[in-house]
Structure 1
Amino acid sequence: MDQHIAEAIGRPDLIHLDERLVCLRFETMKVVSALAAVRHLLDTGAVRRGDTLLDSSSGIYAYALALACHRYGMRCHIVGSTTVDRTLRTQLAVLGATLEQMEPCSDLKLDQKRRVERIHEILLHHPEYHWMRQYHDDIHYLGYRTVADRILRAVGTRSLTVVGGVGSGASTGALARHLRTAGPGADDVELVGVQPYGSVTFGAEHVTDPEIIIAGIGSSIPFGNVTHELYDTLHWVSFDAALVGSVDLLRRHAVFAGLSTGAAYLAARHERARSPERTVLFVAADTGHRYADTVHARHEEAADITGLAPQEVSDLSELALPWSRMHWNRAPAPAPAPRA
C-alpha cells in the first residue's frame, strides 16, 4: 500500500497499443524524479525535514516538487513560468508551496532567463534554501531506475527502442542509462530523443516554430544534465505535427495525453515502421488536461497522421518545419550557434 498519493501518481502504466508499440504513461512524470531526489537529499544529510527546497518550473516539476515536499515534510518555493495555469496555482497554494510567477512574456528565452535570475536573488537573501537544480543535477536520474526495472520485467531490452522528449535529460536519458546496464545485450537499447524547434539542446535554435515551443521537451537555455552521448536519433517536431499526434493517439488508442506525448507518439510510429523487428516504447509524460482547449479542441483541423513523415537531415543546418529526423549516433553536444 502506498504511504502517500505522490507514490501512486508517480507510478506509470505500461500499455500495449499495437504490435511492437508500447506506451509508458505517467499521470505526472516528474514526480518520480522529485521524490527520489528529495529522499536522497534527506538520506545523505544534504537537507533536513522542514528545510525549504527551491526551483524554477514551467509547470509539471512545480507540482512534482510540491508533492515531494508534502510527502517528506519540507517547504517548497517555486519560481514559476508565465505558463503556470490557474488550476496548478490553486493546487500549489493548498499544498503549502510558495509560488512566484513571472509576468506575462511572449519570449520563452527571456522568461527562463528571468526565472534563473530570480532564483539567484532568492539564494542571496536565503542561503539556507536548497536549490534543486532540476535542469543541471544528475540527482534527478535516480527515480527512473525503478521505472527502468519495470520496463525490463514487462518488455525486456532485446531490440528495444525508447522514444521520448529530451527535456532536462532526466527522463529518457535516465531510462536509457539504466536499461543499458541491465545485463548482457542491454546496450542494444536505442534511444530516440524528441525536441521542439527553437531548442538549443541539440542545436535547433535557428529554426522558429510559428506556434509555440513545446514546453518540457526542449529549452532556450543550456541544460547541464542532458547527456547527448546517450541518444541515437533525434526528431524535431513542430506544434502542428505534435497536435496531429496527440489527436490521433486519443482517437486511435483512447490515450488522453499532452503535446509532448503527441510528438513522441508521432516519432515512435515512424521508428516502428523503419525497424519492424524492434519493440518501440514511447513516454507519455502527463495527461492531456492542460492541452484540452489548445490542442484536443482543434481535432477537426488535425491532418491525417498517415500523411506525415519527417525530413531526413544529415546536418543541423538542414532542419526544417514541420518535422525533421537525424541520426545522432551518440555524439557529444553540438557547438553553440554563432551569435548574430
Structure 2
Amino acid sequence: MHEHIAEAVKEPDVVTVPPGAICLRFETMKLYSALGAVRHLLDTGQVKPGDTLIDSSSGIYAHALALACHRHGLNCHIVGSTTIDRTLRVQLEILGATLEQVRPSQNLRLDQNLRVQRIGELLQQNPHYHWMRQYHDAIHYLGYRDIADLIRKEVPHGPLSLVGGVGTGASTGAIATYLREAGRDVTLIGVQPFGSVTFGAEHVSDPDMIIAGIGSSIPFHNVRHHLYDRIHWINFDYAMSGAIELLRASGIFAGLSAGAAYLATLWEQEREREQDADRTYVFLAADTGHRYVDTAYAHHTAAPGLGTMRPHEVTTQNELKHPWSAMNWPPPDNGLLHDAPALMAEPA
C-alpha cells in the first residue's frame, strides 16, 4: 500500500509495442525527479516542512513538484508556461500550489526566458524560497535510479537502446548512467525539437514544438552531451503522426515526445536489425496525451502515415532540416557544445 498518491502515480506501465520494442508509459515521469530531489533536500536539512519550493515549468514538472510538496508538507510556487491548461491549473490550486503564468509568446526562447526572469524576481523578493533548478541541479538525477532498476528487472539481458526526449537531461541521461554503472550495454538515443539549443539546432525553427517540452532555448547544465550516442530532431507534424500511430498500434495515449521517441525507435530498429538483432529497444512515454488532444490528436485524419517517413542523416548541425534529421553523436567536430563543468554526481 502506498502512503501517498505520488508514489502510486509515478510507477510506469511496461508495455510491449510491435515490432519488438518496449514502452515505459508514465502518467507523469517527472515525479521520479521531483520526489527524489525533495526527499534528498529534506534528508540533508536543506529544506524543512513548511518551506516554499519554486521552479519554472511548461506543465509536467509543475504537477510533479506540486505532488511532491503535498506529500512532504512543503509549499509550492510555479512560474508556468501558457501551455499549462485549465485541468492542471485547477489541480495545482486544490493541491495548495500557487501558479503564475507568463504572458503568451510565439516561440520557445521567449517563453523560457520570461519564466527564468520571473524566477529571479521572486527570489529577490523572497530569498528564503528554495529554487529547485530542475534545469541545472544534478539532484534531479537521483530519483531516476528507480527506473534504471525497473528496466534491469523487466528488460531481457543483453544490449539495450534507450530512446526518449532529452528535455532537461535528467531523465534519459540519468537512466542511462545508472544502467551503465550496473554494467548494462546501453546506447542512448535522444529526441529533440528543431529550434532547441541543447544539441545545436537553434538555427532551424519549429514554433509548434513549444508544447512538446523536450527542447530548450537556453543551455541546461543537467544535459550531459557525452552520454548520448544518437540524436533525432523531429518536427511537430512527424511527432504528431508518431503519437497517433502509437495510439493506433498499441492503445497507448501519450504526449508528443512519446510520438517522436516511437518514430525514432522504429527507425533505429530498422537500421540496426541485421547488425544487432539481439538489441532491445526501450522508449519513454513521459506523459499522457490529454493536453495534446486539441493541438494534435484531433487532427488524426490529416496526419501523414509513418510508412514514407525517413530521417535525413547528417554529420553536422549545419545540415539539419525539416521534418526529421538524425546524426551520430558526438559529431566529428563537436566544438559547439560542452557539458557543464561539474559532471553528474550524487549531491552531497
- TM bin (shorter chain): over 0.9
Q: Match for 1:228: what amino acid?
A: H
CA deviations over 1:269-322 (Å, ceiling 9, x no partner): 111111221111000000100011111111111111111010100110000000
SS at match of 1:56: strand
CA change 1:157–1:46 in 2 (3 A) is: farther
Matches within 5 A, 1:216-235: 216-235=213-232
Q: Match for 2:186: what amino acid?
A: V
Q: Residue 101 of structure 1 aligns with which residue?
A: 101
CA deviations over 1:231-257 (Å, ceiling 9, x no partner): 000000000000110110011111111
Q: Match for 2:153: what amino acid?
A: R
TM-superposed deviation, 1:329? 3.9
Q: Residue 200 of structure 1 aligns with which residue?
A: 197
SS at match of 1:63: helix
Matches within 5 A, 1:54-133: 54-133=54-133
Q: Match for 1:303: what amino acid?
A: P
CA change 1:76–1:332 in 2 (3 A) is: farther
Query: Is the CA contact (8 Å cut-off) linking 1:228 and 1:333 kept in structure 2?
Result: no
Q: TM-score, normalised by structure 1?
A: 0.95
TM-superposed deviation, 1:109? 1.1
Q: Match for 2:23: what amino acid?
A: C
Give, in whole Å, the separation in 1 of the partners of 2:69 and 2:335.
Answer: 36
CA change 1:228–1:48 in 2 (3 A) is: same
Identify which range, 17-26 or 31-40, moves more after superposition. 17-26
Matches within 5 A, 1:23-38: 23-38=23-38
Aligned residues: 333
TM-superposed deviation, 1:80? 0.7
TM-superposed deviation, 1:58? 0.7
Q: Match for 1:14: what amino acid?
A: V
TM-superposed deviation, 1:157? 5.1
Give, in whole Å, the separation in 1 of the partners of 2:199 and 2:54.
Answer: 27
Q: Residue 308 of structure 1 aligns with which residue?
A: 309
Structure 1 unmatched ranges of 5 or more = none
Give, in whole Å, the separation in 2 of the partners of 1:62 and 1:85.
Answer: 12
Q: Residue 10 of structure 2 aligns with which residue?
A: 10
Q: Residue 284 of structure 1 aligns with which residue?
A: 285
CA change 1:46–1:334 in 2 (3 A) is: farther
2:250 is aligned with 1:249? no
TM-superposed deviation, 1:19? 4.2
Identity in percent: 62
Q: Residue 173 of structure 1 aligns with which residue?
A: 173
CA change 1:172–1:330 in 2 (3 A) is: farther
Q: Match for 2:264: what amino acid?
A: A
SS at match of 1:24: strand
Give, in whole Å, the separation in 2 of the partners of 1:156 and 1:332.
Answer: 36
Give, in whole Å, the separation in 2 of the partners of 1:50 and 1:148.
Answer: 32
Query: Is the CA contact (8 Å cut-off) linking 2:166 and 2:190 kept in structure 1?
Result: yes
CA change 1:118–1:25 in 2 (3 A) is: same
Query: Is the CA contact (8 Å cut-off) linking 2:212 and 2:255 kept in structure 1?
Result: no
CA change 1:140–1:157 in 2 (3 A) is: farther
TM-superposed deviation, 1:224? 1.0
TM-superposed deviation, 1:156? 4.2
Query: Is the CA contact (8 Å cut-off) linking 2:195 and 2:217 kept in structure 1?
Result: yes
Q: What is the RMSD of the two structures over their aligned residues, measured on CA atoms?
A: 1.5
TM-superposed deviation, 1:89? 0.7
Q: Match for 1:291: what amino acid?
A: Y
Give, in whole Å, the separation in 2 of the partners of 1:189 and 1:215.
Answer: 25
Q: Residue 342 of structure 2 aligns with which residue?
A: none
Identify which range, 287-296 or 105-114, moves more after superposition. 105-114
Q: Match for 2:229: what amino acid?
A: D
TM-superposed deviation, 1:326? 0.2
Q: Residue 260 of structure 1 aligns with which residue?
A: 257
Give, in whole Å, the separation in 2 of the partners of 1:140 and 1:79.
Answer: 18
2:319 is aligned with 1:318? yes
TM-superposed deviation, 1:210? 5.6
Give, in whole Å, the separation in 1 of the partners of 2:135 and 2:207.
Answer: 26
SS at match of 2:219: coil
Give, in whole Å, the separation in 2 of the partners of 1:95 and 1:182.
Answer: 37
Give, in whole Å, the separation in 1 of the partners of 2:91 and 2:332.
Answer: 41
**Superposition misfits of 4+ residues, deviation over 3 angstroms:** 210-214, 329-334
SS at match of 1:167: coil
CA change 1:124–1:94 in 2 (3 A) is: same
Q: Residue 52 of structure 1 aligns with which residue?
A: 52
Give, in whole Å, the separation in 1 of the partners of 2:284 and 2:102.
Answer: 29
Q: Residue 335 of structure 1 aligns with which residue?
A: 336
SS at match of 1:335: coil
Query: Is the CA contact (8 Å cut-off) linking 1:162 and 1:192 kept in structure 2?
Result: yes
Query: Is the CA contact (8 Å cut-off) linking 1:214 and 1:260 kept in structure 2?
Result: no
